[in-house]
């Protein structure tokens, strides 16, 4: 059957006008959406509980050991689904009241014509709640479900598409918006609360009211809408689940938090230490993902966090850091900045660095009268839209800017809800801290970097936001220290997606070790010496070990060693003098004996002592030579001299003369 699109804005009775085709022609039924089936009629029906279908086949029960994965997946738009409705709204007129704001078009649903170009074309999807499947109960953490849609906009003017959300039918808030022509893309919003949701898509061609239709061809197309873990959803597939211990065919049982399903037995098994359970699947040990560097897992393996202690090896020395005193929320008021109309505002950041068993302690609120952390914790029931995260941001409007009685806080956003790791490296999971982003540290103590990310994506940040906190040792910044942002990026970010902070504090210094002090030895007084221990200056450590007590030890004074040295020197001098005199005297006696022997040899009678013998050998030389027949070492000769002196003996020598003997 063919019908004109309402409102009808064309003439069919003019020349060359298209006429409506005749109705009643039989065609093959188009496929149903996943989770629905065609029972032979012209409409699709949801599969009964416990069964699944891909939309082209009949519903079948899930095999043993599996359970249906409930949700909605709309990708065929032949009729509008039962939990969706469309409408048209205009503030200034009622031309489009009762019109369909959107029209189904086979493989997509698109915005309708409306009554004027500034109409709001509305599409609603109602879901009564979100609940994870039995097998995922212990793995979802704070995430309960997701809604994802694929769309594109074709505009020649300033068209805009709003994606809005209403919780428990209280108020509708804009989640994201897109202006102008946008290529085909997907957007995902994560659900953290089990409540009744109404999701709304609103399209406006232009915000200027006009009598004539100039932008009738501007439109938005949505190709698919997928909602996971919907309470009243249907199943397009089945997923493995944990079985009871009685028999393989028993019904699915929920695994305790932090447990995965073992493939061999389909039984629940706890994840290893320092791993967290994936929120997307729990089948097999690979569902347990290791935590990042310097982090540990919570007791239920739902997330990773830092326990405020960090260790780093540097030049054969282990640096120990303790950030426990910085575990309370740190705050930074950045600005001021001004709007185009001159209104002053500030960016207010809260940072929950570590500890608290992974609990996100940073709180940012909207519409508050006092934005101090202490007041938030004490009276959070009085505030609205409370946001908890590792890092969050609020926009603060001072009371004097608009004449308010108190400051206002709005636009609270989560900058980090997942902890990635802590390391001295400047890069982790595609988050990089450039060297010129912050001033060079004054010491050789390495900075410690905490890395976080947010699971919420935006149009500009398709991978979500991320945050890096640089912890720097600064002994002059006592207590909580000071938090600052890069000078090049005064808003804390240069691209709107990655935020950087420098946190300087004495609490960011490593714990003191024996390498951080040295000893000073005092003078030896009265046989005792005092040793003192003092810190190295400048001191780049805190807490840790204490300085050793001063040490008192026995010692020998300098006067004593001077006396000993003088005595040894005097004794040595006397000994040398005595030896010199002794050998001099021995030499005199030897000269005397030698002279006497020469004189005796020259006499004609050649009278020699009876105990000696001599011989005069002829030779060619004119001078006499004395040749000793006893060839001894120097020590032996000295001994011989001493012995012969006592015995009054002489050494025998050979004399050689140039004169002819007359013997």
Phi, then psi, of 428 in degrees rounded to 5? -155, 120
With respect to residue 539, please indicate whether it lies within any of the assigned structural domains: yes
Q: Are 137 and 119 in contact (CB under 8 A)?
A: no
Q: Are 485 and 470 in contact (CB under 8 A)?
A: no
End-to-end CA distance of the chain: 171
CATH number (domain holding residue 269): 2.10.50
Instruction: Give yes or no: residues 497 and 364 share one domain.
Output: yes
Instruction: Give yes or no: residues 482 and 537 share one domain.
Output: no
Instruction: Give yes or no: residues 350 and 396 share one domain.
Output: yes
**Tens-digit pLDDT profile for residues 156-211:** 988 999 999 998 888 888 888 999 999 999 998 888 888 899 999 999 998 887 77
Instruction: Give yes or no: residues 197 and 343 share one domain.
Output: no
Instruction: Give yes or no: residues 276 and 404 share one domain.
Output: no
Q: Are 534 and 550 in contact (CB under 8 A)?
A: no
CATH number (domain holding residue 490): 2.70.130.10
With respect to residue 47, please indicate whether it lies within any of the assigned structural domains: no
Residue ending a domain, among 261, 278, 307, is 307
**Tokens at residue 644, please?**
């012969």
Q: How far apart (Å, rounded) are the C-alpha atoms in residues 137 and 516?
A: 51
Instruction: Give yes or no: residues 339 and 415 share one domain.
Output: yes
What confidence category does residue 250 fall into, taking pLDDT thresholds of 50, 70 and 90? low
With respect to residue 76, please indicate whether it lies within any of the assigned structural domains: no
Instruction: Give yes or no: residues 402 and 488 share one domain.
Output: yes
Residue ending a domain, among 196, 231, 266, is 231
Above pLDDT 90, what percent of the chain? 27
How many structural domains is the chain composed of? Answer: 4
With respect to residue 131, please indicate whether it lies within any of the assigned structural domains: yes
Instruction: Give yes or no: residues 411 and 268 share one domain.
Output: no
How many Cα neighbours within 13 Å face the side chain of 362? 24
Q: Is 542 helix (H, G, I), strand (E, B) or coil?
A: strand
Pairing, β 66-74 against β 219-228 = antiparallel
| Residue 116 structural domain | 84-231
Instruction: Give yes or no: residues 96 and 204 share one domain.
Output: yes
Instruction: Give yes or no: residues 265 and 350 share one domain.
Output: no
Q: Are 353 and 361 in contact (CB under 8 A)?
A: no
**Tens-digit pLDDT profile for residues 515-571:** 888 888 877 777 788 888 888 888 888 888 888 888 888 876 656 667 778 888 888
With respect to residue 656, please indicate whether it lies within any of the assigned structural domains: no
Q: Are 465 and 415 in contact (CB under 8 A)?
A: yes
With respect to residue 126, please indicate whether it lies within any of the assigned structural domains: yes
Residue ending a domain, among 231, 251, 285, is 231
With respect to residue 361, please indicate whether it lies within any of the assigned structural domains: yes
**Tens-digit pLDDT profile for residues 307-363:** 999 999 887 788 999 999 998 888 888 878 887 778 888 888 999 999 888 888 888
Q: Is 590 helix (H, G, I), strand (E, B) or coil?
A: helix
Q: Which of 372, 416, 375, 376 shows the shortest CA–CA distance to 393? A: 416
Instruction: Give yes or no: residues 139 and 227 share one domain.
Output: yes
Q: Are 612 and 626 in contact (CB under 8 A)?
A: no
Instruction: Give yes or no: residues 423 and 476 share one domain.
Output: yes
**Tens-digit pLDDT profile for residues 597-615:** 888 777 645 554 554 444 4
With respect to residue 248, please indicate whether it lies within any of the assigned structural domains: yes
């Amino acid at each position: 059957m063919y019908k004109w699109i309402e409102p009808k804005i064309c003439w069919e009775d003019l020349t060359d006008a298209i006429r409506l085709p005749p109705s009643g022609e039989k065609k093959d039924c188009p496929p149903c959406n996943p989770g629905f089936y065609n029972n032979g009629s012209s409409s699709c029906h949801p599969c009964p509980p416990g069964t699944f279908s891909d939309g082209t086949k009949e519903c079948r029960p899930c095999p043993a050991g599996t359970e249906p994965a409930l949700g909605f997946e709309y990708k065929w738009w032949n009729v509008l689904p039962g939990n969706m409705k469309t409408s048209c709204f205009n503030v200034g007129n009622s031309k489009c009241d009762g019109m369909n704001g959107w029209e189904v078009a086979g493989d997509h649903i698109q915005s309708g014509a409306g009554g004027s170009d500034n109409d709001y074309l509305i599409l609603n999807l109602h879901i009564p709640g979100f609940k994870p499947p039995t097998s995922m109960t212990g793995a979802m953490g704070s995430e309960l479900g997701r809604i994802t849609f694929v769309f594109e906009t074709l505009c020649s003017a300033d068209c805009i598409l709003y994606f809005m959300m209403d919780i428990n039918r209280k108020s509708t808030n804009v989640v994201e918006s897109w202006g102008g022509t946008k290529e085909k893309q997907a957007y995902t919003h994560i659900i953290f609360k089990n409540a009744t949701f109404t999701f709304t898509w609103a399209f406006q061609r232009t915000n200027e009211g006009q009598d004539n239709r100039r932008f009738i061809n501007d439109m938005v197309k949505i190709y698919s809408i997928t909602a996971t873990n919907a309470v009243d959803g249907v199943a397009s597939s089945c997923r493995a689940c944990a079985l009871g211990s009685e028999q393989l065919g028993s019904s699915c049982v929920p695994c305790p938090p932090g447990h995965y399903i073992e493939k061999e037995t389909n039984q629940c098994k706890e994840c290893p230490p320092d791993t967290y359970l994936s929120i997307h699947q729990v089948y097999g040990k690979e569902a347990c993902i290791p935590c990042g560097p310097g982090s540990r897992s919570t007791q239920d393996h739902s997330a990773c966090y830092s326990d405020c202690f960090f260790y780093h090896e540097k030049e054969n020395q282990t640096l120990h850091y303790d950030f426990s005193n910085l575990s309370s929320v740190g705050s930074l008021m950045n600005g001021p900045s001004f709007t185009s109309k001159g209104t002053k505002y500030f960016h207010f950041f809260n940072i929950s660095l570590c500890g608290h068993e992974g609990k996100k302690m940073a709180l940012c609120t909207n519409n508050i009268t006092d934005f101090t952390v202490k007041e938030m914790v004490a009276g959070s029931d009085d505030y609205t839209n409370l946001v908890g995260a590792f890092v969050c941001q609020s926009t603060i409007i001072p009371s004097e800017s608009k004449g308010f009685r108190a400051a206002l806080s709005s636009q609270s956003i989560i900058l980090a809800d997942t902890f990635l790791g802590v390391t001295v490296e400047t890069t982790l999971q595609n988050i990089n801290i450039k060297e010129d982003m912050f001033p060079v540290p004054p010491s050789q103590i390495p900075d410690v970097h905490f890395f976080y990310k947010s699971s919420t994506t935006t149009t500009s940040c398709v991978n979500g936001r991320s945050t890096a906190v640089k912890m720097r040792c600064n002994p002059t910044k006592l207590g909580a220290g000071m938090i600052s942002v890069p000078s090049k990026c005064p808003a804390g970010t240069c691209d709107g997606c990655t935020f950087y902070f420098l946190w300087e504090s004495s609490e960011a210094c490593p714990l003191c070790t024996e390498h951080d002090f040295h000893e000073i030895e005092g003078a030896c007084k009265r046989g005792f010496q005092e040793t003192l221990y003092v810190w190295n200056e400048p001191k780049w450590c805190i807490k840790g070990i204490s300085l050793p007590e001063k040490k008192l030890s026995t010692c020998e004074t300098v006067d004593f060693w001077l006396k000993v040295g003088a005595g040894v020197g005097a004794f040595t001098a006397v000994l040398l003098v005595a030896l010199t005199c002794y050998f001099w005297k021995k030499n005199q006696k030897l000269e005397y004996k030698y002279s006497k022997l020469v004189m005796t040899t020259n006499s004609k009678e050649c009278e020699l002592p009876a105990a000696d013998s001599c011989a005069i050998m002829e030779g060619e030389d004119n001078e006499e030579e004395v040749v000793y027949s006893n060839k001894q070492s120097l020590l032996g000769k000295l001994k011989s001299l001493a012995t012969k002196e006592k015995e009054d003996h002489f050494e025998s020598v050979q004399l050689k003369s140039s004169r002819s003997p007359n013997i």
